């Protein structure tokens, strides 16, 4: 018979900031490596980056998007 009241506590847990495996029982402070932090941030944004083009195209059809398109074109014309 299994004891259902036992709780398994993993030895390593992912860091919430960079995703690195961190010893959960180690009392020392974990410092995120910059490359892990950047890679984890990019990975967490993968859904947003995948739909960016479609989202932008939709927004450009709205009144604020149409205004920004007009303003950008005007700015380019007057900069020449």
Encode pLDDT of 27-68 as tens digits. Answer: 678 899 999 999 999 999 999 999 999 999 999 999 999 999
End-to-end alpha carbon distance in the chain = 81
Q: What predicted TM-score, i.e. pTM, was given to this entire model? A: 0.51
The span from the CA of 11 to the CA of 40, in Å, is 21
d(CA 67, CA 15): 42
Q: Cα-flanking dihedrals φ and ψ of residue 67, to 5°?
A: -65, -45
pLDDT at 9: 81
Sorting pLDDT into bands at 50, 70 and 90, what band is 5?
low
Mean pLDDT of the chain: 89
DSSP character string of 47-60: HHHHTHHHHHHHHH
pLDDT reading at 4 higher than 70: no
């Amino acid at each position: 018979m299994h004891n259902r009241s036992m709780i398994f506590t993993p030895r390593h847990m992912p860091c919430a900031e960079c995703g690195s495996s961190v010893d959960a029982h180690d009392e020392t402070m974990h410092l995120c490596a910059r490359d892990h932090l950047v890679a984890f941030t990019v990975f967490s944004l993968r859904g947003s980056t995948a739909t960016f083009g479609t989202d932008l195209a939709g927004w450009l059809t709205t009144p604020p998007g149409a205004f920004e398109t007009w303003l950008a074109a005007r700015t380019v014309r007057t900069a020449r």
